[in-house]
Amino acid sequence: MKKRGIGIGSIFYGTGYGNGFPDVSKAVAQLKSDGKIAIYVGATEVGQGAKTALSQIAAEVLGLSVDDIVFINEDTSITPDSGTAAASRQTYNTGNAIKLACEKLKRDILEVAKDYLGLNSIVGLTLKNGYVYPKTLPEKRVSLGEISESLESSLKEEAVFTAQTTEMDEETGQGAPYWPYTFSACGVEVEVDTETGRVEIIRAVLAQDVGRAINPELIEGQIDGGFAMGAGYALYEDLKIEKGKIKNNSFTNYLIPTSLDMPDIEKVIIEDPESTAPYGAKGIGEPVMIPVAPAILNAIYDAVGVRMTEIPVTPEKLLKAIKEKEMTYNEGKN
């Protein structure tokens, strides 16, 4: 028999290294000779979209398009240390460092433009689409390329961002260990085959707090990917370690979700900007995954009335639990 059930899960997640450990990101912004802006950071692109999202922050500050940002993050000899690409911290930490560096660079650019254009002040100067001009007189303008050519050495600024966390009390655990916190909730509908113990995910919704969305497409991609990893955690993945040896050490026996295991997901981006974050944006790489497995477990209970306290919920485990429940039920009837 096939039985359906619905479940939800909700979570919070604290960004960063935490507990007072110095969480530092550095960034360098430089005006290149062709008028483009180079950003140097040690933040790794692991596929999460750091290069794109962080370029968007630089582009926003400097009124440019992302095509005018040259993002360099592959070589330790020319990039500053921006911390690890983990703990969902790059958007918040390195994003803040880039924003600060670009704001400083922008000020430098406006100062040079002021002299170049023979103005008295940088007040009311606009930097947009590669030109600097008084906002009341757009025709009087100079391009970033012209500014760069007029200088003997290139304009370059470095900025450091250090996140605020405190060390917790050793005896009571009291303190402010992480900041900011990010929230999310997931809802799923599953169908359990009570003959085979197989669980199929029929529908799914995930609502993710992002502070502010820098790139909704990237966020949606993270939500889909986090859902898949969460579903694998709930239903399939187990290294089967026996006497310290991993039995499932290949994709033949260590199963991760395939395209056939994934439902389409209704993705809801919740914005509530965080004032200490770059344009309000919080990191979401981890939180997108976290509420998925508990939502599936609660949906399984809703479908067949068994609490699965040990994951993954393999068909064998679930069948056994359903049988045990039926036996208890029948005993109760007799």
Partner 1 sequence: MKKIKLTVNKKEYMLEIKEDTRLIDLLRDVLGFTGVKEGCGEGECGACTVIMDGDIVNSCLVLAFQADGKEIITIEGVESEEEIHPIQQAFLDVGAVQCGFCTPGMILSAKALLDKNPSPTREEIRAAISGNLCRCTGYNKIVDAIERAALYLKRGK
Partner 2 sequence: MRLNSIGKKIIRVDGLSKVKGKALYPQDIYMEGMLYGKTLRSSRPHAYINIDTSRAEKIDGVVKVFTYKDVPGKNCHGVLFKDHEVFCSERVRRVGDPIAFVVATNKKAVEEAIEVIDVNYEDIEAVFDPLEAMKEESVKIHGNSNIIYHYKLRKGDVEEAFKRCHVIVESEYKTPMVEHAFLQPEAGIAYTEDDGTIVVCASTQYPHFDQIEVAEALEVNKDKVKIINPAVGGAFGGREDITLQIHLAIAAKVTGRPVKAVYSREESFLAHSKRHSMIMRYKTGCNKDGKLLAMEAEIIGDTGAYASWAINVLRKAGVHATGPYEIPNVKVDSYAVYTNNPFAGAMRGFGATQVPIAHEQQMDMLSEKLNMDPVTFRLKNIFKKGSKTATGQVLEESVPIDRCIKEVADRIGITPLSERGGVV
**Which residues carry out catalysis?**
286
Least distance from partner 2 to the Cβ atom of residue 137, Å: 21
Can you tell me which of 33, 65, 164, 258 binds partner 2, judged by CB under 8 A? 65
Q: Which does 262 bind (CB under 5 to 8 A by kind): partner 2, partner 1, none?
A: partner 1
Asked if 198 is part of the footprint of partner 2 (rule: CB under 8 A), the reply reads no
Asked if 56 is part of the footprint of partner 2 (rule: CB under 8 A), the reply reads yes
d(CA 13, CA 16): 10
CB atoms within 10 A of CB 194: 16
Please provide the size of the chain in residues: 334
Least distance from partner 2 to the Cβ atom of residue 284, Å: 11
How many Cα atoms are found within 13 Å in the side-chain-facing hemisphere of 271? 10
Asked if 330 is part of the footprint of partner 2 (rule: CB under 8 A), the reply reads no
Least distance from partner 2 to the Cβ atom of residue 99, Å: 10
Choice between 119 and 281, CB closer to partner 2: 281
Can you tell me which of 72, 160, 205, 262 binds partner 2, judged by CB under 8 A? 205
Choice between 119 and 287, CB closer to partner 2: 287
Q: Between the CA of residue 63 and those of 26, 58, 102, what are the distances in Å?
A: 22, 8, 11
Can you tell me which of 35, 38, 45, 261 binds partner 2, judged by CB under 8 A? 45
Are the beta carbons of 156 and 29 closer than 8 angstroms?
Answer: yes
Least distance from partner 1 to the Cβ atom of residue 232, Å: 9
Choice between 122 and 185, CB closer to partner 2: 185
Asked if 126 is part of the footprint of partner 2 (rule: CB under 8 A), the reply reads no
Asked if 72 is part of the footprint of partner 2 (rule: CB under 8 A), the reply reads no
Q: Which does 265 bind (CB under 5 to 8 A by kind): partner 1, partner 2, none?
A: partner 1
Q: Which does 257 bind (CB under 5 to 8 A by kind): partner 1, partner 2, none?
A: partner 1
**What does the binding site for partner 1 look like in residue numbers (CB under 8 A)?**
46-49, 217-218, 220-221, 223-229, 250-252, 256-260, 262, 264-265
CB atoms within 10 A of CB 101: 28
CB atoms within 10 A of CB 162: 13
d(CA 175, CA 169): 6
Choice between 18 and 134, CB closer to partner 2: 18
Sheet containing 2-14: order of strands: 2-14, 181-193, 199-211, 265-271
Q: What is the DSSP string of 244-309?
A: TEES--STTTS----GGGPPPEEEEEEE---TTSGGG----TTTTTTTHHHHHHHHHHHHH-----
d(CA 182, CA 161): 19
206 strand-pairing partners:
186, 267
Q: Which does 102 bind (CB under 5 to 8 A by kind): partner 2, partner 1, none?
A: none
Can you tell me which of 38, 229, 262, 319 binds partner 2, judged by CB under 8 A? 229
